[in-house]
Structure 1
């Protein structure tokens, strides 16, 4: 199992929050932490010269970036001297670089925003990395509620088992309750009686959900597990649950027509609106 946690770091308060989250996780799991500053300036420089003033010289940019990383590492080592903490700079497109680095990482941790040269692309970078990374991706945002549950939002897709397992491991390590939420989105119509129409979830419909939860309870017998299966809008239900959680774990995508191309709409909504850190887990994780 890969033990390294990679933090996307640019010196902003949001990336600092990501670093603090990663250090806490590393202290709990014995992982190493690497700060990665991804700078796309050399890649984008030719196009940038056509529309604006030339970027600063490479030597100046390198000095500023290295100084930022060195200070961050020094501060982190003072607070967590037992953790192996390193840093490096990658000159590439942020999403491409982070997705590539995720192949050998345990986690990728990103802040909810930033002020780097490509800060305007942050939303698309976070979405792309969350959708295509080869390991779970943590987007650190909001303020996690201490001693609150870890919430897992699952559906009927292939990622459900991976999401639930990751959430259970986090809850167990944090000595927290695991709250598992499975929703069926409501619709209006007069066709066949389904949970989405009647507003009720039958035993048959929730059977796969119950089977997954039973597996987790067997694997983690000392873990307190609470479940909720209801007809509700997934994004709304999980956003509300995140208001009283220390971590919200979801899948990278649902099972819609474009499931192989995009990050699921529910996951995208949570990356922008959750009141606590969000973890996006992939089926292959």
Structure 2
């Protein structure tokens, strides 16, 4: 008897793309990306600003609402262009406001840092909270994200786990839309065992990679079959996963990762590799979580 597959956040819906805006440089870049995403995917754009004090005022004063939302529209006019967008000020925390709006969204796009984040903070509290709990894919625009996406293959952080399956589905769907390929990167970090020689460690790494290659290939096979026009390239490397995957993402239009992998546990909503990639990736990072 066949079982019903668990639902995932991997397949974009027809809902709008939701973007958080707080006036910061990163949020302006996120709005520009969100406008391009809306145009390319044929969906609407919803720009959200969350402020409890201002939100309470505009909730009861239509003139104030029109003024505040008009000011938002003016601030992002260059980024939005001719996209049909809606603007909302919500009396709540940014994380809760974006998560609520994300219930019916095809994606949420945020900057990695806001106005209150220090320059040496690689990931702000809002982007972290949204990534960890969002009901749809979240695309984080980091300070290292170029203004124009690269033209290479989409890079997928692949580990062969079931938790990674929604991310793989998302990566293949986006690659097909863009007419490009998928570079699935699997990285293994070999522990430094006391007394082990470099030769022993190399042999251990080769053994682990050979075993993992089978798991990753089997996990990607259904997606490869569903998207015959997408060329799949499997990259197996030895090294710290977050570092090696980020290096492979140079020139990519998007890096896609799951929220947890083999080492993920229920209490860790965002895995260590995914969190590091949000800090080190040279392009936009899409985090795709399963809903089950």
Quick check: TM above 0.5? yes
The 1:242–1:202 alpha-carbon spacing in structure 2 relative to 1, beyond 3 Å, is closer
Report Cα offsets for 1:115-153 as digits up to 9, x if no partner: 2xx556961221111011110101012215531221000
- Please, what is the CA RMSD of the aligned residues? 3.1
The 1:94–1:245 alpha-carbon spacing in structure 2 relative to 1, beyond 3 Å, is same
The 1:42–1:88 alpha-carbon spacing in structure 2 relative to 1, beyond 3 Å, is closer
Q: Compute the displacement of 1:229 (Å).
A: 2.2
**For 1:253 and 1:107, how far apart are their aligned partners in 2?**
19
My pick for the range that moved more, 99-108 or 27-36, is 99-108
CA contact (8 A) 1:195 1:202 kept: no
Aligned position for 1:24? 36
Q: Compute the displacement of 1:64 (Å).
A: 7.1
Report Cα offsets for 1:27-78 as digits up to 9, x if no partner: 12111110000114579xxxxxxxxxxxxxx99996874343221565566x
SS in 1 for 2:150: coil
The aligned length equals 265
Does residue 184 of structure 1 match 2:188? Answer: yes
The two structures have a TM-score, normalised by structure 2, of 0.79
Aligned position for 2:162? 158
**Aligned with residue 204 of structure 2, among 198, 217, 223:** 198
CA contact (8 A) 1:99 1:132 kept: yes
Runs of 5+ unmatched residues, structure 1: 44-57
The 1:197–1:131 alpha-carbon spacing in structure 2 relative to 1, beyond 3 Å, is farther
Runs of 5+ unmatched residues, structure 2: 1-12, 56-60
Does residue 112 of structure 1 match 2:115? Answer: no
Q: Compute the displacement of 1:107 (Å).
A: 0.4
SS in 2 for 1:172: helix
The 1:184–1:60 alpha-carbon spacing in structure 2 relative to 1, beyond 3 Å, is farther
**Aligned with residue 71 of structure 2, among 61, 68, 72:** 68
**For 1:146 and 1:36, how far apart are their aligned partners in 2?**
27
Q: Compute the displacement of 1:108 (Å).
A: 0.6
SS in 2 for 1:159: helix
My pick for the range that moved more, 156-165 or 121-130, is 121-130
Report Cα offsets for 1:230-282 as digits up to 9, x if no partner: 33211011121222211110011234364433311111112122211001000
